[in-house]
Structure 1
Amino acid sequence: MVRPVSVGFDGSAESLAAAAWAGREAVLRGTSLHIVHALEWRASNLQFSPGASAQREWAESRLDVAREELAVTRPELVVEVDRVSDPPVKALVDAARESEFLVLGSRGLGVLQGFLLGSVSLPVIARASRPVVVVHGPEEPSGPSGAGPVVVGLGHDGPYGPLLDFAFAAAAVRGADLHIVRAGDAGAAAEALPDRSGWPSVEVHEWLPAGPAAQHLVEAAGEACLLVVGRRGHRPGPAVRIGPVAHAVLHHARCPVAVVPHG
């Protein structure tokens, strides 16, 4: 089954950038784009806030802008819009379940807005059963040629299958190299690598640095078009945890970051 690429949309500039990035991804993967349009508004200063109807009209106008831009830049793309009244976390986790992956927008560099407010983004990333990609602001070419490598980080805990499958597929559809940054037991990480014969077009480079994994991943992602990291699935209890490495790169990497559940 070919799943759509989904994107969370709330009318912010960050969500417009996320929609543009998600649209390009959907075309690369030969699938449709599913826009999840949130109707629930964040709390704000009621004294200076417009009424709910005015807010909704503004968001609808921004949605029209996103759809018009996609129609111009990706005329072959099938776009579906789902207006949801559920709480944002539930709506986005539900959308991710039926998607190749979910895309969210962020200003990046530690300033999180829109869907990337901690009360929404972290629970979504921690609970989603499919990968979640965070796009930092307007699209900018990566690398000197505008198409940098895909970088994937392998930590101490496997299995790495879903993480590497996502990274290899992302590199293949872009015609990009794959840079594997390994931490922990090098032997265990090497055993976890998949049969590369399934991705003959992907050139692979491996790096086993010493020191903090998050710092090396952020450095490696400086010229990347996408950074892929994992998080352990099925964490017990109500606490929201995505792991320290994923948390750090989400705040500091400037390229889009994919967080893939595994294990």
Structure 2
Amino acid sequence: MGRPVLAGVDGSEHSLAAADWAAREAVLRGVPLRLLHASPPLPGDAVPAPARERLHQLGEHVLQQVIADLGARHPDLRVRGEQTAEAPAVALLAAAHCAGLLVVGARGTGGFAGLTVGSVALRMTAAADCPLVVVPEPQVGGFGNGMRRHDADAQVVMGFDAHRPVGEVADFAFAAAEARDVLLRAVQAWALPAEAVAAGTLFVTEEDRATWEDQEVLRLSDALHKWRETYPEVTVRTDVVLLHPAQALLNASRGAGLLVVGRRTGPQRGEGRLGPVTHAVLHHSSCPVAVVPYAE
């Protein structure tokens, strides 16, 4: 049996949307779903016992309600819930060591109206050692209690750089597209080469631009060849666009079911650091964003 899907829940609409997404993902993968409720920190060093007990009761109520709701809609789902007195970020990071995927809402009960991604989601994205999916704000009129539809029938979009291919990102995206039986759209943003913008260059001809673009298209196709062989059932569409990578991915992922990007790890990348492209798509994507860690 594979590692479980882990989701943090706190009773907020965002966490309920994340739990719904995680439940459907667990069914697709054929693995259990683990729900974790972490009590919010209280001010002061000494918390009265009645307050602790009340928080425990509220957390248990949230978990049982979510488990009952998910179980009714996903009869084949194996789900269990647990509570912890640790802070949400600490608890989720520890639990993620044993998970195959961590799913969180873009923000929880804290934050304020207009905040797109909360502090816990940002920390999870920057520090979790397993792939993570951030589920955006639930759509109005969505699936049950404001939950967002899983969009299992929508395409998967992958950010990919053929100059520096990342196997972990490609494996995740191809497997997601295969499980959903949907199109995989591989997007590569490119920039004009240095000679095109040198001081002595007056203008770039359409012929030169077409030549450089053709080279990028061929390079991307070649880089994806081994994954096409490994996942022959996945239909792949390649897009090479002359845009900033974040804008290219946001454009491509409108209406998508999942956007997949990478996050570099290693001693040179301190905890809590996200690259500018990942940071931008997290804050502006309208679909769930999968962030896959990989070693530099």
Q: Structure 1 length normalisation: TM-score? A: 0.85
Aligned structure 1 segments of 4 or more residues deviating by more than 4 angstroms: 107-110, 187-191
- Tell me, yes or no, if the aligned pair for 1:228 and 1:260 is still in contact at 8 Å: yes
For structure 1, which runs of at least 5 residues remain unmatched after alignment? 44-49
Q: Tell me the alpha carbon deviations over residues 56-91 of structure 1, each in whole angstroms, 9 at most, x when there is no partner.
A: 333322212110111101111111223222332222
The aligned counterpart of 2:149 is 140
Matched, 1:181 2:213: no
Question: If you compute each CA radius of gyration, which structure gives the higher value, 1 or 2?
Answer: 2
In structure 2, what is the Cα distance between the partners aligned to 1:68 and 1:103? 19
- Residue 191 of structure 1 and its aligned partner are, at CA, apart by 4.7
Q: 1:129 and 1:191, CA in 2 relative to 1: closer, same or farther beyond 3 A?
A: farther
- Tell me, yes or no, if the aligned pair for 1:158 and 1:192 is still in contact at 8 Å: no
For residue 111 of structure 1, give the secondary structure of its aligned residue in structure 2.
coil
In structure 2, what is the Cα distance between the partners aligned to 1:164 and 1:250? 19
The aligned counterpart of 2:89 is 89
Matched, 1:117 2:149: no
- Residue 170 of structure 1 and its aligned partner are, at CA, apart by 0.5
In structure 2, what is the Cα distance between the partners aligned to 1:189 and 1:238? 30
For structure 2, which runs of at least 5 residues remain unmatched after alignment? 44-49, 139-146, 192-215
Q: Quick one: percent identity of the two aligned structures?
A: 41
Q: 1:38 and 1:165, CA in 2 relative to 1: closer, same or farther beyond 3 A?
A: same
In structure 2, what is the Cα distance between the partners aligned to 1:128 and 1:157? 26
| Aligned length in residues | 251
The aligned counterpart of 1:153 is 159
RMSD: 2.6
Q: Give the AA of the match of 2:2.
A: V
Matched, 1:260 2:292: yes
The aligned counterpart of 1:39 is 39
In structure 2, what is the Cα distance between the partners aligned to 1:234 and 1:104? 23
Q: Structure 2 length normalisation: TM-score? A: 0.76
In structure 1, what is the Cα distance between the partners aligned to 2:94 and 2:250? 30
- Tell me, yes or no, if the aligned pair for 1:161 and 1:192 is still in contact at 8 Å: no
- Tell me, yes or no, if the aligned pair for 1:6 and 1:102 is still in contact at 8 Å: yes
Q: 1:254 and 1:29, CA in 2 relative to 1: closer, same or farther beyond 3 A?
A: same
Q: 1:74-85, aligned counterparts within 5 Å?
A: 74-85=74-85
Q: Give the AA of the match of 1:139.
A: R
Q: Tell me the alpha carbon deviations over residues 176-226 of structure 1, each in whole angstroms, 9 at most, x when there is no partner.
A: 110000124836655542331221211000001111111121111111000
For residue 65 of structure 1, give the secondary structure of its aligned residue in structure 2.
helix
1:162 to 160, 168, 172: 168
Matched, 1:216 2:248: yes
Q: Give the AA of the match of 2:262.
A: G
In structure 1, what is the Cα distance between the partners aligned to 2:233 and 2:134? 26
